[in-house]
Structure 1
Amino acid sequence: MGREILTVAETVSNEKGVSREAIFEALEQALVAATKKKFYEGTNSEEAELRVEIDRKTGEYRTFRQWEVVADEDHEMPACQDAISDLDPSKCSIGDIRELEVESIEFGRIAAQIAKQVIVQKIREAERALIADAYMSKIGELIYGEVKKQTKDGYIIDLGDNAEGYLAREETIPKENLRPKQRLSAILYEVNREGRGAQLLLSRARPEMLKALIKKEVPEISEEIIEIKAATRQAGVRAKIAVKTNDHRIDPVGACIGMRGTRIQSVQQELNGERIDVVVWSDDPAQYIASALEPADVSGIVIDEDMRTADIIFATSEQLARAIGSQGQNVRLASELTGYKLDMMLEEDYHARQQNETQQYLDMFVTRLDIDENLAMALVEMGFTSLDEVAYVPAETFNEIDLDIETVELLQSRAKEVALADALKEQENIQEPSDELLNMEGVTKQIAYALASRGIVTIDDLADQATDDISDIEGLDSKLAGQLIMKARESWFN
C-alpha cells in the first residue's frame, strides 16, 4: 500500500510537473474524504474532522480524528468539539486540538478515484499559480495573442504556453469585429489569482493600451528622454496623451508623431483609426490646460488649484465650440487629462459673472460691516471675499488703501464680531453627540462632533452609515471608518 502511494506521487509529479509535496498533500485530502465517506456517513459525517499523515519516505499513512477544545457555552458540535469541563484542565486549554488515532481506509478503488479528482484539482491550481507568477510582472504591458473563440460576453485569447487571456466585450474597441485565429495586441491589466473566473484580464480600450503602443513606437520613451505623464481615451474615437521632454533639444510632440506622422499613424492603425492628440505637459496648470484644449485658442484661464477647477475664457463662439468638440468630446478628454473641472465661457459671460460676484461681495461688506460703498469696493478690489479674511489678516495688509490705524482696528473689530456671531449661530444648529458615541472605543471628541454635525448622534446612527459616507471626516480614513461602523453594528447581532 505504501509503495503504491509512492508510485502515484512519483508518476503524477513527473508527468504533470507538480511537486511531490503537492501530490502528497492532495493524497492526504483524498484519503480524508474517502475515510469520511466510509466510516462517518450519516448526520455527523460532514462535521467530523480528520487528518491523514503520509510518511514521505515509506508511503505508509495514519489517520487521526480531531476535536477542538471549546468553552462549555460554545459546545454546539460534539462531532468535532470537546467541552472544556469534560477534560482535564491541567492537560489542555480552550483552542487546543485533541487527536485520537482511528482506523485508516485502504488505498483501494474508491480512495484512488477520489485521489485522482483531488490531484487533478491540485494540478489545475498549480498550473494557474505558475501562469499567474509568469504574468504578474507583465501587468500594464502589451500582450500578443490569437483569438481562440468568442463567448457570450467576450473573447478567449490564446497567449501560447497553455496561457489564455480574457478580453471582455466592454474592453474591446467599439465596433471592432474580432474573428477566430485573428492576431491582436492588448494590455494585461489584472492577474486573477482566485480559483474561479478568467485569470489573465486583457483590454484594448483602456488608456494604458495607448501608452504601451506609443512607448513601442517611440524609442525615446524607453530611453527616458521623453516621459508619458498622462493619457485618456474615448476608445475608437479620440484620445489625448500628455508628454514631457527631459532634453530641451528634443520636441516631445514631434518625436511622438514621427517623420510625416509615421509613428502616430501606426498607433492609430492598431486602434482602428482613433484620433490621437499629443499634448505638451507642463507643471504650469494654465499652460497645460491650454495645450490640452488644442486646437482651440484660449483667451484666458482663471484657476482654483485648491478646488481643481478652472474657468476657460474664449473670445469667439467659434473657438468655444472648437474647444468643446463634437458632443463635448474635446473638453471632456481635456478635463480627464489635466484633472481639472473645466468651465467654458465667452468673455462677455465671464465679465458678467465677475460683475455679479463683485456686487454680491460689495453688498455683503456694506450691509454686514456698516461701511460706505467706496471702502467696500476697495476691499473687493484687494481680493477680500469673506468677513474672516477681513478680520484676521495682518493690519499692514490695508496699507495699500491708505487707512489710518484707528479705522483698520475698528474695521477688523467689527468683522470679528460679525464672524463670531455667525459661528455661534452655526454652533447652535449643531447637535450634541450622545454619551455612548463619545465614549465609544476609537471615537475621539473631534470625530464625535464632526459626526454629530452630519446628524450622526448615536451609535445606531453610525451603524446605519456606509464607509464612504464618513471617510472624508478629518481624522478618519476608509479603514478606521469601516472599523467604527462594524463596531457600532455589534449591537445588531448581540
Structure 2
Amino acid sequence: MASAPANSGGITANRAELIAIAESVAKEKLIDKAIVIEAMEDAIQRAAKNRYGSENDIRAKLDPNTGDLRLWRVVEVVEGVDDYFKQIDVASAQKLQKGAVVGDYIVDPLPPIEFGRIQAQASKQIIFQKVRDAERERQFEEFKDRQGEIIIGVAKRVEFGHIVVDLGRAEGVIRRDQQIPRELVRVGDRVRSIILNVRRENRGPQIFLSRAHPDFMKKLFAQEVPEIYDGIIEIKAAARDPGSRAKIGVISHDSSIDPVGACVGMKGSRVQAVVQEMQGEKIDIIPWSPDTATFVVNALQPANVARVVIDEEDDRIEVVVPDDMLSLAIGRRGQNVRLASQLTGKAIDILTEADASEKRQKEFVERSEMFQNELDVDETLAQLLVAEGFGELEEVAYVDLEEIAGIEGFDEELGQELQSRAAEALERREVANRELRQSLGVDDALAGMPYMTEAMLVTLGKAGIKTLDDLADLATDELVQKKRAEPRRRAENAPPQRAEDKGGVLAEYGLSEEQGNEIIMAARAHWFEDEPAGDADTAVTDGEDAHAESPQ
C-alpha cells in the first residue's frame, strides 16, 4: 500500500499538546508511549468514519515527535466499481495518482475534521479503553512469572471478607480461605503475603495472594535463615494449620550444620521472627529423613512412638504408641496426626500397644479360621500358615512350593496338597461370585474387560454398574481412586470423613490409574464401532477429555 501524503489533513488541536498528553499518560500508566499514540490514532479514525461514512477504509497517522496528523482514505483500483466506498475506476484513480493501474491501492487525502462534544467524548472513551487494556497486559506480564514470591502491599479495602491489597503497580486479593484465621487486618496496614497465582481474566489480571499457604512459611524461613537462602539447608516438607500450628521437615547438605538449630537461631530469634509474622503460630521444626519410618516418628513429636508398620500396598502407615501417649500423638482435634500426615504425604493410623495387640490377635484368629474352612485343615496347621506370614488363599496357591515345604514340620507332599486345596477354594469363590453377579443382573460383557474378576463384577453390581454404558460413563477416579485413609483412632470432635475421600468403586482391589484408564476405554470401545475411522479417533480423544480424568 502506498504511503500517505505529507499534508493530507488533520484536526484542529494543538500538536504539542497531543504529544504532551500521550507522554503524560504513558508515564503515569507505565506503558509504552507508542500504545497511547496508537489509541489516539484509532480514536481519530473512528471519528473520521463517523464524519465521512463508516463504509470507508479510513486511516490516520499521528507523528509521535511533531504531532502532525495525516488523514486519508484507501481505495482499490478496479475495472468495474461495485463498492463506491472502497473501490475506484482507473480514470478517476489516475487523477489522484498518475500511472495507477488495476489492482493498485491508492490514498485519497481527506480534509481536517472538527470534533464535536459527542465525538470528543467517544474518542476519549476509546483512548481510555485502549490504555486500560495495555495497563492490564503490562500488569499480567509483570506478575505472571513471580508466583511463589513474597510481596509487601498495603490493605486497600475489605470486600466480603476478602482483602484487596495495593501492590503499587497492581492490586492483589487475599481470599478469606487464604488468610490466617482471627487475624485482624485494617485498611492501611502493611501486609506481607506470597503470590499464589496470577490469572488473565476479562476484567484484568487477577493476582491471588496467600498468608495461609505452607509455601508462605517456607519463604519466610528463607528470608530469616541465610543457610536456607544459600541452599545449605533445605525445607523438604511443610504443613500448616494456619494460625494454630505448623510443622516443617528440614535437612542439611553440610554435615557440620545442624538444620534444626540453624532454623531456630540464637535464643530462638530466627523462628520467633517467623512466628510473629504468622500471628503466633507454633512451629515444630523436624529433621527430615529419607527413611519413611524415621520421618514419621520425627513428625509425630512430641509423642513417643513404639513401632511403625508401613503398608506399601495401601500407602498407609500404622503407628503404635504407648497408652499414655495416645492423646499427645493425635493432638487436639486430631491436629498433630493430621499435620504429620500432610508432612509425610502418608495416611497415618494411630494405635495404642493394647489396640495393636488386639488387632493382631483378631487378624490371626480370622485368618486361621479362614484357612481351616477353605483348606479343610486343623487349627494347628492353619495357625502355622498364619504365623509364617500367609494371609490370603492366593498367597498359598501361587507361592513357590519351596516356601510352603520349607515351613518346619511341612514337606513337599503337604505343600502340594495345600496348594491344590487353595486353588480349588479360589475356584469355588469364583463360581459363587459368578452366580451372585448374574443374580445382580451384571452383563456378561463386563467380564471381558481387562483386569476384571468376578469379585470386582459383584462389587460393580452392588454399586448399580451393570452394563458397559454404566461402566463407560465413569471417570477413572470414580472407578479406582484409592480411599483416603481415615485414622482408626479418631480424636474427639474430629470432623467426619468427607464423601470425596471414600475412593472409587473398585478402590479396595488396588488397581492403578493406568489400569483404570484401560478398563474405561475398553468399555467405551463399543461406542465407536460403527463410526468411520477418522470420526472414531476424534470421538475417543473427546471421550478421554470428558471422562478420563486423573485423580486429584
Q: Which category of TM-score, normalised to the shorter sequence, fits these structures?
A: 0.7 to 0.9
Mean Cα displacement is larger for which, 111-120 or 302-311?
111-120
Give the alignment's TM-score, normalised by structure 2.
Answer: 0.67
Pairing 1:143–2:151 present: yes
Structure 2 counterpart SS, 1:283: coil
Cα drift, residue 9 of structure 1: 9.7
Cα drift, residue 167 of structure 1: 1.8
Mean Cα displacement is larger for which, 350-359 or 301-310?
301-310
Pairing 1:129–2:170 present: no
Partner of 1:220: 227
Cα drift, residue 412 of structure 1: 1.1
Q: Deviations over 1:138-181 (max 9, x none)?
A: 21121111222333322222222x22221223322112211222
Q: Deviations over 1:52-95 (max 9, x none)?
A: 6747696545699xxxxxxxxxxxxxxxxxxxxxxxxxxxxxxx
Q: CA contact under 8 A between 1:171 and 1:203: conserved in structure 2? A: yes
Mean Cα displacement is larger for which, 472-481 or 242-251?
472-481
Give the Cα separation in 2 of the matches to 1:448 and 1:11.
Answer: 76
Q: Which has the higher contact order (CA 8 A, sep 6+)?
A: 2
Pairing 1:484–2:543 present: yes
Partner of 1:272: 279
Partner of 1:308: 315
Q: CA contact under 8 A between 1:154 and 1:168: conserved in structure 2? A: yes
Relative to 1, partners in 2 of residues 1:394 and 1:163: Cα closer, same or farther, differing over 3 Å? same
Give the Cα separation in 2 of the matches to 1:152 and 1:458.
Answer: 48
Mean Cα displacement is larger for which, 411-420 or 20-29?
20-29
Cα drift, residue 421 of structure 1: 3.2
Among residues 373, 379, 389, which one is paired with 2:379 in the alignment?
373
Give the Cα separation in 2 of the matches to 1:51 and 1:345.
Answer: 83
Pairing 1:407–2:448 present: no
Structure 2 counterpart SS, 1:307: coil
Give the Cα separation in 2 of the matches to 1:481 and 1:293.
Answer: 47
Q: CA contact under 8 A between 2:250 and 2:286: conserved in structure 1? A: yes
Structure 2 counterpart SS, 1:301: strand
Give the Cα separation in 1 of the matches to 2:466 and 2:185.
Answer: 57
Give the Cα separation in 1 of the matches to 2:51 and 2:418.
Answer: 89
Mean Cα displacement is larger for which, 110-119 or 51-60?
51-60
Q: Percent identity?
A: 37
Q: CA contact under 8 A between 2:193 and 2:211: conserved in structure 1? A: yes
Q: Deviations over 1:387-426 (max 9, x none)?
A: 1111111112121334222221121122122223323443
Give the Cα separation in 2 of the matches to 1:141 and 1:293.
Answer: 30
Q: CA contact under 8 A between 2:402 and 2:412: conserved in structure 1? A: no
Q: CA contact under 8 A between 2:225 and 2:270: conserved in structure 1? A: yes
Structure 2 counterpart SS, 1:476: helix
Give the Cα separation in 2 of the matches to 1:113 and 1:209.
Answer: 47
Give the alignment's TM-score, normalised by structure 1.
Answer: 0.75
Give the Cα separation in 2 of the matches to 1:217 and 1:309.
Answer: 35
Alignment of 1:284-299 (within 5 A): 284-299=291-306
Give the Cα separation in 2 of the matches to 1:366 and 1:483.
Answer: 52
Cα drift, residue 245 of structure 1: 1.4
Relative to 1, partners in 2 of residues 1:484 and 1:184: Cα closer, same or farther, differing over 3 Å? same
Relative to 1, partners in 2 of residues 1:177 and 1:368: Cα closer, same or farther, differing over 3 Å? same
Give the Cα separation in 1 of the matches to 2:310 and 2:121.
Answer: 71
Relative to 1, partners in 2 of residues 1:416 and 1:448: Cα closer, same or farther, differing over 3 Å? closer
Pairing 1:432–2:449 present: no
Letter in 2 for 1:418: A
Give the Cα separation in 2 of the matches to 1:258 and 1:290.
Answer: 24
Gaps of 5+ in 1: 41-49, 65-103, 439-443, 489-494
Give the Cα separation in 2 of the matches to 1:209 and 1:348.
Answer: 41
Structure 1 counterpart SS, 2:195: strand
Structure 1 counterpart SS, 2:248: strand
Gaps of 5+ in 2: 1-7, 63-69, 77-109, 482-512, 522-538, 548-552
Give the Cα separation in 2 of the matches to 1:367 and 1:182.
Answer: 73
Give the Cα separation in 2 of the matches to 1:220 and 1:24.
Answer: 50
Relative to 1, partners in 2 of residues 1:5 and 1:244: Cα closer, same or farther, differing over 3 Å? farther
Letter in 1 for 2:395: E
Among residues 234, 239, 246, which one is paired with 1:239 in the alignment?
246
Give the Cα separation in 1 of the matches to 2:136 and 2:181.
Answer: 31
Q: CA contact under 8 A between 1:268 and 1:276: conserved in structure 2? A: yes
CA radius of gyration, larger in: 2
Pairing 1:355–2:414 present: no
Relative to 1, partners in 2 of residues 1:63 and 1:360: Cα closer, same or farther, differing over 3 Å? farther
Q: CA contact under 8 A between 1:10 and 1:20: conserved in structure 2? A: no
RMSD: 4.1
